[in-house]
Every structure is written in structure tokens, then in C-alpha cells.
Amino acid sequence: MRASTGMRASSLLAAIVSSTGLLLAAPGHAVDGVREINHDAIQAGGGYPWLIDEPGSYRLTGNLDVSGESSPLDRTAIVITADNVWLDLNGFSLIGPQSCNGSPAASSGAGDGVQSSGVGTVVVDGFVEGFGRDGLSLGNRARVERVNVSCTGGTGIAVGDQSSVDGSSVEDSVEGMAAGAGSLVRDNRMTGNLGFGLVVGEDAAYGGNVLRGNNGGGAALQVAAGDGAFELDTNVCESGTSCTVGPLCGNGLAEDSEQCDGADLAGQTCDDFGFTGGTLACNGMSCTVDTSACGPIPGCGNGMIDGMEQCDGMDLGGESCASRGFVGGSLSCNPQTCTFDTSNCTGMPVCGNGVQEGLEECDGMGVDTPTCDADCTLVVCGDGTSNAAAGEGCDDGNANNLDDCPDGIGGSCQPASCGDGFCNAFGMASEDAMSCPADCASTCGNGNVEGLEECDGMDLAGQTCVGLGFVGGTLQCDNMSCLFETSLCTNCGNGTIDMGEQCDGANLGGQSCSDLGFFAGTLACNSMTCQFVTSGCTDCGNGTIDMGEQCDGMDLAGQDCVGLGFVGGTLQCNPTTCQYLTSLCSNCGNGTIDMGEQCDGADLGGQTCSDQGFVSGTLACDGSCGFDTSGCSGMPVCGDGNVEGLEECDDSGESASCDDDCSFVVCGDGNQNGTAGEGCDDGDENTNDSCPDGGGASCQPASCGDGFVWNQDGGMENCDDGNQDNSDTCPDGVGGTCQPAFCGDGFCLLSGMSPEDSMSCPADCP
């Protein structure tokens, strides 16, 4: 859930008005004092968004449709900056570019139906559908009544603190309704939303709401509520049961289905996700782990695609933005995860615009042509689309040449008839060798598939094991019947144990190492042969030393620490590997500092009392090879101007090089040193929050152009290359947005894969 709906709306408005330079149409007046709004007036006034910057009453006199605007997913219909605005939708609709047809919104953008940074906004009586982000995004003390929202890429209805939502509905959106602290939400309906149906802040009240099919449906939690929130009346969820309050993302506690929440990472580290070190973080919007600051996955970074990697360095495996479904741009590889980075890819293909884009095979302006189907795929007999323009008379898509529409391999996609070369044995005509000998007569063994033959010799009619429903293998032909012989086809890999298989994938048929005569271990399955792999099985743990084992349990084969070259200690046996475990063996007393020892006899490793944090004295070594500080004296006093003990510095207080805790100034140590020029230091070594203090950061409050992507702690940046240039793919100069460049953002893109000019983007490049 967003930390502050009102703050988000306000900052977004600033980005629209100040940064992008968009013109906002101004409202006119009606004779009764209620100002009227309609699509024609908006177009005449300069286009969307429509600006309301004065308090008062406003009323729609027609639908407002942004779907025909440039970048429609990023287009907002109405922007409100004034307090105390009453907006009557008057039964009309605010219409965005996407439709859902019973499924959650598939696309997202920056456009809202109504976006208000003002206090006390009221929106009533109408419909909002298909916007890239929120349907309604309102500030504090807002009121929403009788508004139906559907198919939005963000939250259907989002209101700030001390607000109310009554008699409204949200369906098929990414998130249902969200209301801030102290709000009242009652008698609403939330259905089929991707996330929670309802999210309320602390001390909010909600009741009489119906929530179904949200958050995955079924037994999934429907409501997320802050501390002190309570059910005013019964809320009804799946199967008529009372709603269950789910975890609230943003309360700092990782609860239920949350992977994390704020600083609570549920004990997880980067290593738990396959990385080698680094700093694990938490996405403040979704409460899922953020691995962007984790160290590289083993093998990732060697410049070659290994294992499950999508890419590695410059090796993109031949992929591009177009092959990933975008129109253009520059595809790159995330150096930490070796997954594709599409942040610099641009545009989504539009089937029917006459331009082949992304994954489209062709584009015939949305109609069938001799080479292109209306769905922007090439004409193929058997694809299930009958294309009359290409000469097809039928295409039932079942790849069968023996029914009423031959559309298999070599098929004609013309209605079956005697003499077409295909024996229509299973269609309406029921052809056979008597009624249509030209198509159905055959001679098995002549090497040509004829009539009802499935194959003949080496002629398999283009068929394979996979085409017959198997996973793989070698298809053959029975020379006596001219029917397929599938004995060498296999289903190894389908997850089901078939004839001749011991196992298949994770399906071991309930078998384990012990069932195969081993003592313990992990049984696996060969993915190629579907036979057991016992290399992970072991007899270690049966108490008997078997081949390859040094020991087993208490049986150490008569060996001890001294026999292995140590001075003393206790020899053990590793219960997993049955190899000697010498961690409790010791060389203490041999006069040399060995692993695990601080010292040994007179060998103190160069350490003194001062190194142990004391002022003076004589350091010694005890019988367990640990330091004996009984002869040390005095503790350092930070601030006395003398560097003592473990102090790194002491300047009698904070200085340009020394913190007031007598440690050197380090950005990220959690100690903000104003004398050293630090503007902040929260100590989390995170460069993506409001105080960048990780590697290379300067401990200054986050800002667009500082070279760090601020996307946590309320930050909305999606890029920041730190070059303070508004003409490249990430505008981060003066007035920049730190959002990927697009036509209409107010900045003329002069570099990158798709530079703009006055022809391609006159709005930005006059």
C-alpha cells in the first residue's frame, strides 16, 4: 500500500505541471454556477488533462475519453489542485485505453482518471475505466459516492486520511480500494482485483462491503488493515464468510504472505536467494524482497549465458527489445541477476496500425490480407484462422487432413472433396476406397503415404513423436500396416511415471535412498532417461565404516587428534559426509598461532593491550590460546583529544574527519556528520532510499540527477544516470523527471536507440 496517497498525488502533479510542461485545459462556467466539463471543450482548450484549480462545483456533460491521446496509458483525464472541489460525473464515464473482459488490467502507466492533491475533494455518480494507474487518486478528507471503477493498472479508488468511500465498486484492477488513517469505507463492492480488495490505514472503520475473487480468490486474504482498524459492520467475502484482515504492507512487520516489510526481512539475506553477499532490501510498495543490491549469482558476470541465466554481460542470446515484445529501445542485462533489463525498451506494439512491431509477424491494418491474418500473424494453414483474402476456404485448426477441412501438414484449407488428395474418412462425406479411390486407395510399402495410411517407409507425413503427444523420442513406421510405431517415443519429462520409467522429474514414485538399500541421502531422477540417480545416496550414518568413509558415528577407526598431527583436542565424525571433523582438535601450546587461536604462548600476533581497547598494561596468553587482559589497565575516553585503545580518532568532538564517537567519517555509518558535509546518514547503506549512503554515495538527501535511483521511502524515480542531461534516455537535469524518456515528456531525446526530432515528436522537439 502507498505510504501517503495524498503525497503521491501531489508529487505526481508537480511532475506533470512543472517537469513535463504539459498544458492543462481550464474549466468553463455554466449559467447555474456549476462549471461544465466535456470532451470537446477539453480538446478546444489544449487537450488532456483537464485542470481544476479553483474551489467549487463541477459537472460532466459527456464522456471524457483519453484512449485516442498520445501515450494514453500515461494520460490523466482530470487534475485537481484546489481544495473543496465537488465533481459530479453526472452518470458519464472517464475512459482510458485498456479493457479487461473479466481479467485484471494487463498494462500500467502514469495516467489516472481523477488525480487530486487538494483537500476535501468529492467525486460522485459515474464510471471510471481503463486507466494506466489509478481510477481515482485523491488526497485527505476526500469523499467518493456511487462511483464504479474497473480495469485500472493501479488502485481503483485511493483516498487519503480521514476520507470516506460509500456505495462504490472496483473490479478487475491491480488493487481494489485504499483508504488512509481514520477513514470510513462502507457498503462497497470489490471483485476480481489482482491484489487486496481493500487496504485501510490505522484507526479506519469498514463495514457492509462485499469482496470476492481478490488477491487470487478462494481462501486468500481480502482485506489489509492498519493498527486500530476495525469492522464497523459485517464484511462478506468468499462463500459468505466474514472477511479476514491481512497483512498491511508498510507497517514494518513481515506478516503472513509478505516476504518482508521495511527493515523486517524475516531473517533472509541475499545468500538465501542464490546471490553471493550484498544487501537485501524490501520493496516498499509490494513488500517483496528487492535483490538489486545483492552480489552476483555464481557464474553471473563471466560474459557467457549459463544455466538459467537469460543473459550475461553483452551476451543477450540474440534477444532484443523487439523480441521481448517492445517497439524499440536498447535491451541490456542486469549484472547482478543475469536477467533482461527492459528499462530502456520503448513502446508496445499495436496490432492494426500497419507497422510490424515487437513480436508481431506482420501487420495488415487489422484485417486479413493475402499474407497476414487480422491478429498480426502470418497466414498458416492449420492456425485456426480462415483467411479468405489468402484463398483459404476453411481452417478448423485441428491439423487433420482426414476431416471436412484438410489443414494438417500439406493441407489445402479448402473444403474436402474427392480428388483433393486427402481421404475424407472422418468428415461428412466418409470417403473410402470404394467411394473415392483417387484419394483413399493405397499400396503399403511403396514409400508414399496414400489414402488412410499414416506413414509408409521413411515417409512419416511430416509427423514426429511430439506431434503425436509424446515428450520426445524417435517415431517409426510399421511396414506391414503403414501405421505409426511409437515404441521408441517417450514421455520422459512429463512428470508422470510411464512404462519403462523409474521416475519422472520430481516424481520418484514414493521411493527414497533407503528403499534402494542405502542408509540415507537424496534420491534424484535422470531428466533424459527417467531412471534413478543414486549419486546423492549414502550409507553414512549406519555406524559402519564403508568404502570412501573415514569414520561413521562413534567409530573413528582408532584415530584421534594427535594421530592427525594436532597437539590435542577431541576428534569427531561429520554425520553427513562420514569424514573426520577436526574443529575441536587443537594446536594450542605449539607456540604458533593456528586457526581459531588468538595467541599461543609468547606469540601474541603483535597485539597489545591498546589493540584490545585498553589504555596501557601487559597483554598475555592463557592456556586456551585466548588473550589474557588481566594485566591491562584503563579504558579510553572518547572526547579527551587523545587517540586511545580502539579509537580511530579523537578530535574532542565532531570534526571534518572524525565523528563524535571517535570513529572516522564514513558515509553509511549511521552517524550524520554535518561538519564533514554530510546532509544525512541513515546507516542502511542503501542508495535507493531518501538518503543514499551505500557504495559511492555522498550522504546527501536524494534528488533527481544524483546518479542513484530513488524508488524507496516515497521516491518515484525509475532511472537516474547522474549526468544531469535532459536530452538522453533518462532526463535528470534541472527540472528533470528521472523517468525513462518518452515522446510527450517535455524533453527532446537526442541520444539512445530512438532519438526524437521535430518530425517524430514535435511536442518535445519544436
Residues in a beta bridge with 290: 281
Cα distance between residue 379 and residue 388, in whole Å: 10
Compare 533 and 22 and report the one with higher pLDDT.
Answer: 533
Amino acid identity, position 231: E
Confidence band for 28, pLDDT divided at 50, 70 and 90: low
Q: What are residue 212's DSSP bridge partners?
A: 191
Q: Helix, strand, or coil here: 231?
A: strand
Sign of CA dihedral 505, 506, 508, 511: positive
Q: How far is CA 726 from CA 27, 80, 289, 308, 715, in A?
A: 32, 27, 31, 37, 19
Cα dist. 154→3, 107, 108, 132, 299 in Å? 14, 9, 7, 7, 37
- pLDDT confidence of residue 227: 74
In this predicted structure, the answer to whether residue 8 has a pLDDT above a threshold of 80 is: no
Asked if 132 and 96 touch (Cβ cutoff 8 Å), the reply is yes
How many beta carbons lie within 10 A of that of residue 628, not counting itself?
16
Q: How many C-alpha atoms does 22 have within 13 Å on its Cβ side? A: 26
pLDDT of 220 reads 65
Could you count the other beta carbons within 10 Å of the beta carbon of residue 68?
Answer: 12
Residue 684 pairs with which residues in a beta bridge?
Answer: none
Question: In whole angstroms, how far apart are CA 488 and each of 470, 491, 496, 499, 531?
Answer: 10, 10, 17, 12, 16
User: If you average pLDDT over each of 307-316, 348-357, 684-693, which comes out highest?
Assistant: 684-693
* Percentage of the chain modeled with pLDDT above 90: 37
Question: Where is 205: in which H helix or E strand?
Answer: strand 205-207
Sheet strands (E) in 601-663: 616-617, 620-621, 627-628, 632-633
CA nearest neighbour of 566 among 553, 554, 549, 584: 584
- Least confidently predicted of 46-55, 253-262, 555-564: 253-262
Q: At 525, is the secondary structure helix, strand, or coil?
A: strand
Residue 241 pLDDT: 46
Quick one: pLDDT band at residue 250, thresholds 50, 70, 90?
A: confident
* Lowest mean per-residue pLDDT among 24-38, 59-73, 668-682: 24-38
The whole-angstrom separation of Cα 751 and Cα 690 is 29
pLDDT value at residue 247: 61
Average pLDDT over the chain, rounded to an integer: 85
User: Cell numbers of 275, please?
Assistant: 546471490
Residue 23, pLDDT score: 38
User: How far is residue 71's CA from residue 327's CA, in Å, rounded to a whole number?
Assistant: 13
Residue 583 pLDDT: 83
pLDDT over 70 percentage in the chain = 92
Using the predicted structure, report yes or no on whether residue 12 has a pLDDT greater than 50: no
Does position 210 have pLDDT exceeding 80, yes or no? Answer: yes
Checking if the pLDDT of 265 tops 60, the result is yes
Task: Collect all residues with Cβ–Cβ distance below 8 Å to 218 and sequence separation of at least 6.
Answer: 238
Tell how strand 78-80 and strand 50-52 pair up.
Answer: parallel
Residues 376 and 390: their CA atoms lie apart, in Å, by: 14
Contact 173, 193 (CB under 8 A): yes
What pLDDT, in 10s, does the model give residues 439-493? 887 778 888 888 778 899 999 988 999 888 888 889 999 988 888 898 888 888 8
Mean pLDDT, residues 620-640 taken together: 90
Greatest mean pLDDT among 23-37, 42-56, 236-250 lies in 42-56
Query: What separation in angstroms does the CA of 479 have from each of 448, 475, 486?
Result: 12, 13, 13
The alpha carbons of the chain give a radius of gyration, in whole angstroms, of 35
Contact 428, 434 (CB under 8 A): no
Q: Which residue has the higher pLDDT, 705 or 335?
A: 705
Residue 22 has pLDDT above 60, yes or no: no
Residue 396 CA to residue 469 CA, distance in Å, equals: 19
pLDDT, tens only, 465-480:
988 888 888 999 998 8
- Res 104 pLDDT > 70: yes
Position 152 pLDDT exceeds 50: yes
Judged by average pLDDT, the poorest of 373-377, 643-647, 668-672 is 643-647
CA distance 646 to 477: 83
- CA dist 51 and 216 (Å) reads 37
The helix/strand count (H/E) of the chain reads as: 3, 45
Q: Taking 90 as the threshold, does the pLDDT of residue 287 lie above it?
A: no
Is residue 476 within a helix (H) or strand (E), and if so which, with residue range?
strand 476-477
CA atoms of 290 and 60, how far apart (whole Å): 43
User: What pLDDT does 449 receive?
Assistant: 85
The tally of CA atoms less than 13 A away on the side-chain side of residue 712 is 23
pLDDT at 595 over 50: yes
Average pLDDT over residues 337-343: 86
The DSSP element (H or E) to which 44 belongs, if any, is: helix 39-44
- DSSP states of 147-199: EEEES-SSEEEEE-TT-EEES-EEESSSEEEEE-TT-EEES-EEES-SS-SEE
Q: Taking the CA of residue 240 as centre, how many other CA atoms within 13 Å lie in the half-sphere pointing to its CB?
A: 0
State the pLDDT at residue 324: 86
List CB contacts of 571: < 8 A, sequence separation 6 or more.
556, 559, 560, 561, 564, 580, 581, 582, 584, 585
pLDDT at 11 over 60: no
pLDDT tens per residue, range 720-751: 999 999 999 999 999 999 998 888 889 998 88
Q: What is the pLDDT of residue 373?
A: 93
The predicted model gives 387-409 an average pLDDT of 89
The pairs formed by 448-457 with CB atoms below 8 angstroms and a separation of 24 or more are: 449/482, 451/423, 452/402, 452/423, 452/425, 453/482, 453/483, 454/482, 454/483, 454/484, 455/482, 455/483, 455/484, 456/482
Q: Which residues pair with 521 in a beta bridge?
A: 537
Q: Please give the distance of CA 405 from its chain centroid, rounded to a whole number.
A: 44
Q: pTM value?
A: 0.36
Would you say the C-alpha torsion 660, 665, 670, 675 has a positive or negative sign? positive
Highest averaged pLDDT of the listed ranges 525-529, 662-666, 714-718: 662-666
C-alpha cell at 287: 513488500
Higher pLDDT, 322 or 414: 414
What pLDDT sits at residue 27?
Answer: 47
pLDDT, one tens digit per residue, over 161-187 is 999 999 999 999 889 999 998 999 999
